[in-house]
Amino acid sequence: MTNLKYLDNLNKSQKEAVLCITGPLLIVAGAGSGKTRVLTSRIAHILNENKAFPNQILSVTFTNKAAREMQNRVSKILNNQEVGLPWLGTFHSICAKILRRHAKAVNLNQNFTIIDQDDQLRLIKSICNAENIDIKKISPNFIISLINKWKNFGWYPENVALKKSENLERNLLKIYKIYQSKLTDLNACDFGDLILHCVSIFEKNQDINEMYSKNFKYILVDEYQDTNFIQSKWLKLLTKNHDNICCVGDDDQSIYSWRGAEIKNFLEFDKIYNNTKIIRLEENYRSSQNILNVASELISNNENRLGKKLNSNQSQGELINLNCFKNGKEEAISISKVLENQISKKYSFNNVAILVRAIFQTREFEERFLKIGLPYRILGGVKFYERSEIKDCIAYLRIIYQNKDDLAFERIVNVPKRSIGGTSFKMISEYAKKNGLPLENSAKNLISLNKIKPKTKIGLSNFLNFLEKWRNDYFNKKIDHVKLLQIILDESGYSLSLKNKKDLENENRLENIKELLNAMKEFDNLESFLEHVSLATSVDNDWDGEKVNLMTMHASKGLEFDVVFLPGWEEGLFPHQKSIDEKGQNGLEEERRLAYVGITRSKHEVYISFSLNRFYQGDWIDSISSRFVDELPEKYIKKINNYEREEEEIFEFNQDLENEQDVYRSPGWLRYQKRLK
């Protein structure tokens, strides 16, 4: 190969990282510092210098998209030569390739099937059914997440280590044993098995381990801060003969511990690999210096980090805006005005993002944007009124309001489970069609004719009786529509079914339902609310054109925007109380890393805000600004007071006067005033 100019466009640190190809190397790559360029240039350099053949380079990414991008970039660097890199891919794709070759070592055939999450779910449900485990009380998704966690730790069923207090986990261990045995019988494995089986093969078959560790002269790993225990172990086993491993990542962007990521892998890299060299990429090509200064000072409060200081190649830029609002609704209104009156004149909406800590927070913004006709899209999630649990609640309300709403009836007749299966519903549907009846009336008639099976009859009768009772509650007893939904969720068992399924997905669903109850309070009656929902869901879902991006901070990682809004910086919400309760100081530091990720998504402008009063977890609370707000450096912050202190509002929010002066005494307000001085 001819000498190339792939080093010319690299800064000093980047060039050092590319040229240092001997021994273990950890590249601490700050946000926007060009880590992909370094990785691809490094591969090109190894090939150009004839240090290895393409099949002797193992390059691991976390997504197929990242792998394709790296492949294309390497080819471009090498004068558009088609360079085949057979061992460039995700952890799972590479391990699947290895496993196909050595399947017999783990009692599988070479043509084994890789099952997806849906297949996992069906298999777990069938096992639970056979073992008489009530899936209404223990979610199959929870069992799957537990099994995945054990596999991330490198545990087969016989290796699972449990604490005395983990009684639930101990009871579910037998499910794991049966599940793993079934997979073997089916000649199948799940995604967790791909890595676990490879590690097992390497540990039990030294000759196989030796063959691969000799072959891979160079190993490169992207996003190393997101690796879990078993991935780290797999990499270590592959460096037995050559220790030329280069891992790239940013410990300050480690935000996926809930998915099994171990920041310890990154922080203790030099303990895992002797004679490690550490290179820091600190020149940022994305954000203004003010943005980087704020992000750097905020993250410096974390103790568990290697440390770096980002410097921008851009201008100093705008100060970070810090805003205080009366409540979440005013926060959404104000941000929408800024978007319409300021941002739209300078930037494309496609390059503007609103990043929230919890997905339920999008509701306030969606409501406001729909009202004023501001286009938006939800990235990494579903629009509020299109979320399954919200549609379930709406369906319950629709069938109460109008008993001929067959679509609503069909959706919730067996939600939660009432033993009303497909065969029974088909009978109800056919009878309704034949006799020109609504589904509800059809079901009543079939019960009276004794055409429904006994077990189904019990569940269906209870459901129909509840419908009559709830209609009486609303139309005769004049129970308001908010209370009505609370009664429905309670008496139907819907809330309990979510509470019993102890996983993150169902916790989010409960939060969304609480936010729905908050939304309903803004309407005088059920009719007006249902009309609002119908109009909201009829909006064109076309993704084309200029649209503001709404997403969680987790979903924003790896993305960049011209302008970023970060609302809801309040204690309990951000940092999230659950994270602190479950993981203590480690949880707090991960939340702070999430704040760092949110801020560094922006190129030019950042708007951080909090509210003094927010409807959260089903109730109005006096909010206290996030501790992260206090950690923002004063000299890079522009403080804005958006709270109009009108006399009538003083009493509404239970805020007293002090010494005849219009002085607010809510904790959030007092705390914010100190920062304004």
Active centre residues (catalytic): 35-36, 222-223, 253, 601
Amino acid letter for position 498: L
- At residue 427, what are phi and psi to the nearest 5 degrees? -65, -45
Count the alpha carbons within 13 Å of 392 in the hemisphere toward its beta carbon: 21
Could you tell me where the DSSP H helices lie in 501-576? Answer: 504-520, 526-537, 553-556
Burial of 204 (0-12, 13-18, 19+ CB in 10 A): exposed
The two beta strands, 376-378 and 311-312, are unpaired
Tokens of 357: 């800590």
Q: How far is CA 585 from CA 294, 304, 582, 591, in A?
A: 22, 10, 10, 10
Q: Report the DSSP beta bridge partners of residue 355.
A: 551
Tokens of 521: 């309070």
Instruction: Say if residues 261 and 254 touch (Cβ distance below 8 Å).
Output: yes
Q: Name, in order, each residue with C-beta under 8 angstroms of 274's C-beta and a sequence gap of 6 or more.
A: 24, 243
User: Rounded CA gap, 20 and 25, in Å?
Assistant: 8
Tokens of 527: 């009719």
Instruction: Say if residues 537 and 385 touch (Cβ distance below 8 Å).
Output: yes
DSSP 608-625: EEEEEEEEETTEEEE--B
Burial of 670 (0-12, 13-18, 19+ CB in 10 A): middle
Count the Cβ atoms, other than its own, within 10 Å of residue 477.
11
Tokens of 59: 């390059």
What is the DSSP secondary structure assignment for residue 339, as one 8-state letter? I
End-to-end CA distance of the chain: 64
Identify which of 604, 597, 629 has the alpha carbon closest to the alpha carbon of residue 322: 629
- At residue 10, what are phi and psi to the nearest 5 degrees? -100, 145
Count the alpha carbons within 13 Å of 428 in the hemisphere toward its beta carbon: 25
User: Rounded CA gap, 458 and 184, in Å?
Assistant: 40
Quick check: helix, strand or coil at residue 284? strand
What is the DSSP secondary structure assignment for residue 492, as one 8-state letter? T
Instruction: Say if residues 269 and 615 touch (Cβ distance below 8 Å).
Output: no
